Amino acid sequence: MLKKLYILLLMLFMLFSFVDAQRLKSTGKIRNNGKGKIKVEGALESKDNGAVIENKGKIIIEGNANINQDTLGGYVEYNWNENVAFQYVPSLFYKNVSFFGTTKKLLDTTYKRNFVAGDTLFVNNDVEIRTDSSHYIYTQGRVTHNGHINKTSLKGKLIYEGDDIQNVDGTGEYKELEMNNPTAAKVINQGGFSVVTSLELKKGEFQNTDSTNFIMGNKSKIVRHVGASIAYEPQLEGQISVTYKGTGSLLTGPEIPKGTADLANLEISNSDTLFLDRNVDVNDTLRVNANVVTYEDTLSLRNRLNPLYGASPDIEIAGNFRRTVIEVGDTILLNNKYTFALFESIEDKGDLAELTFHILPLTQPVNGNKKVTRRINITGKDIAGNEITDKFKMQFRYAWRHNPGEAVDETNGLKVDELVLQRWSDNNWINFKSDKPFVLSDESWAYGVSSEVNSTGIFAIGGPDFEMIVFRAKVMLEGPYRTGNFATMAMDLNKRNEIPLTPPNNQYPYNLDPNLPTVNAIPDSVVDWVVLEFRKEKVNAAERFFKTAFIRYDGSVVGIDGSNDVMFDYADGIDSGGGDYYVFVRHRNHLMLRTQNPLPLYPDNNDVFYDFSANGNLVEGGVQSLKLLDIDKDGNRLFGMRGGYEFNTPEDDFRFTLDDDRLAAYNEFTQIGYLWGDYNMDGIVNTRDFNISWNNRIK
């Protein structure tokens, strides 16, 4: 009997381009050989043992389907326009599947299979697909979605999970969309679809552009995992939220909205660190379950709610954290759960409308030793955005990691009971009256409280007896000096962007300093790098230390910020409390300058200014070891370091020789850049450089 039924059906398929039936039920095998199509106007069933539908062409189903098999090939179209509750759609693997018609499509999960679209999924305009929250729609290829998934619900997930790039488009509405394709999903044909509840980026890149984009609904959420990303900021219907998850570190991207009012909630729950590559403004809830590093950008919390920190004591925000609502009478939690500010009254708050705390853990303060290795910088603004520096009174609880012998320890071997809050002012640290610090042994933190913070600025946690040592000096270089601009040097290398952010550690004199600095940008006023050497004895190089600094256009020798004087901490190697030191000034293509006598470098001498350009008595060899650069109308003479290589001397071991000096300009002739033979430092080597070097070889 089954054999006869099979032969009859096969003959019908060959004779007609489609088969019409009020009900098509298979108890054996139904085969579409691809030469026509099967149109089922009633129900399609394949549920008995051994029943199989093989399709290499097209099946159009205008009714309910009950198919007990895992895969259905070819093209399958569900298209029904009857006034009934649902058209039942079996969950199985379809090679190509489309949905048309006004009847809602209900995914039938009776057989506990997933609904998977292999090559294509097409959902026509106004088609609604219904599925329960525990069963998802999986797609592995092309997707065009113009309809709805669970129109009246917030649940209903569709997942991109192909191995190759998936092209996606349509103007429909997703409730939950998941990107789980390790290659990519690419929005094409202008996109236009919307995501109502959530977009979860698990694997691969979601490739959208300004012209091929999609819409995130109001109050929707983007969840980004380690190993996934989005190429361009989606269009926003309103505020969205962002969550970070996964194992490892992440760098923020276009999932963070550009507008300051567009991000409602931010949850940071990846296992390692979140690095910010842009400003991030949180308007509602901030949950911090992993470390955050802001670098030069700022994380802002724009409401009175405090951030919610995770249980781990290691969690904090390293860098800029801004609070834009200053609540009176309540703690304003800052870069970690142990640090906060408090204003007791409106009068104490003054005109402050926002505060930014720049806190860097495990970082030695720039201006001194005997400090907890944690940098703190506080800035404030009023409601108009003007900077506020004083006229307020803030209680500040400052905290640091205290775990002696461990890598996270910041106490730096100092006595905890003696540590107070300090502010840098006029080349000195000013102590604030502070409560005796308290140690949280179980959490490896310590904190102190000062109730009298009345100004912004650079802060540190240090010993009350600390005094800073400052070196203030002026040195001119022959090469960049231009006659007619008295006491100023040209900044040609700076203007050409040729000065490196880190001095080359394989070249003299930078190879002498084991702690070369790096800057993010060369300050506008800088001429070049110089290396300072400090020795207890002039000819004994055993006890010496180095400090690499900048020389400005006016000859000022300054720290790496380009403006402040050179300041020392114990990490530089200077004796505690200071000492008498011979000072050597070294430049890469000018002859070395060194002092005739040791200079007293003590806190009491911080205001002493050493002008090597005007006082030859400071320099060994006097004015004979310098170059007369200029004389002004009043007869004042200006001296500078001579242009040319430094040669070997008995107490020093430099690798340069007379031949190096002779060949430097020749070898680099007509070259452009940061060059050793560029003695006049204009960025190009030419005959002017030959003259400078030649004139100084016998000096």
Provide DSSP, 367-413.
T-SSB-SEEEEEEEE-TTS-EE-EEEEEEEEEEEE--TTSTT--STT
Closest CA to 681 of 614, 588, 611: 588
Residue 323's pLDDT is: 98
CB within 8 Å of 329: residues ≥ 6 apart: 342, 343, 344, 345
Residue 3's pLDDT is: 45
Beta strands 105-108 and 128-130: pairing type?
Answer: parallel
Residue 493's pLDDT is: 96
CB within 8 Å of 635: residues ≥ 6 apart: none
Residue 31's pLDDT is: 54
658: region left, alpha or beta (phi > 0 left; psi from -120 to 50 alpha) = alpha
Residue 196's pLDDT is: 97
140 to 93, 158, 161, 167, 206: CA distances (angstroms): 10, 11, 5, 10, 14
Residue 656's pLDDT is: 45
The residues facing 533 across adjacent strands are 546, 584
DSSP 695: H
Contact 512, 587 (CB under 8 A): no
Reading the block at residue 235, the tokens are 């269009």
Among all chains, which residue has been given the structure tokens 């043992």? Answer: 49
Residue 216's pLDDT is: 98
Amino acid 405 reads G
455: region left, alpha or beta (phi > 0 left; psi from -120 to 50 alpha) = beta
CB within 8 Å of 141: residues ≥ 6 apart: 117, 118, 119, 120, 121, 162, 164, 166
By the 10 Å C-beta count (0-12 exposed, 13-18 middle, 19+ buried), 497 is classed as: exposed
DSSP 307: P
Reading the block at residue 24, the tokens are 């098509």
Residue 26's pLDDT is: 46
**Phi and psi (nearest 5°) for 682?**
-105, 0
Among all chains, which residue has been given the structure tokens 């329960």? Answer: 132
- For residue 460, the tally of other CB atoms under 10 A from its CB is 26
Helix/strand/coil for 679: coil
Q: How far apart are CA 74 and CA 96, in angstroms?
A: 6
- The pTM of the full predicted model, rounded to 2 decimals, is 0.66
Contact 417, 436 (CB under 8 A): yes
Cα 29 vs. chain centroid, distance in angstroms? 60
By the 10 Å C-beta count (0-12 exposed, 13-18 middle, 19+ buried), 112 is classed as: exposed
* Helical packing angle, 687-695 and 658-667, nearest 10°: 170
Q: How far apart are CA 691 and CA 671, in angstroms?
A: 17
Mark the ranges of the chain whose per-residue pLDDT is less than 50.
1-23, 26-28, 35, 648-651, 653-657
Helix/strand/coil for 202: strand
Burial 353-368 (b: 16+ CB within 10 A, else e): bbbbbbbbbeebbbbb
Amino acid 207 reads Q
CB within 8 Å of 423: residues ≥ 6 apart: 429, 430, 432, 455, 457, 458, 459
By the 10 Å C-beta count (0-12 exposed, 13-18 middle, 19+ buried), 6 is classed as: middle
Burial 596-630 (b: 16+ CB within 10 A, else e): eebbebbeeebeeebebbeebebbeeeeebbbebb
Closest CA to 263 of 211, 295, 326, 218: 218
Closest CA to 468 of 431, 428, 426, 430: 428
Contact 660, 484 (CB under 8 A): no
The angle at the Cα of 548, spanning 543 to 554, to the nearest 5 degrees, equals: 125
The residues facing 611 across adjacent strands are 474
Q: How far apart are CA 145 and CA 123, in angstroms?
A: 5
Helix/strand/coil for 207: strand
Please report the beta strands in 136-212, taking only residues with DSSP state E, as ranges in sequence order. Answer: 137-139, 142-145, 148-149, 157-160, 166-169, 173-187, 191-207
**Phi and psi (nearest 5°) for 597?**
-130, 160
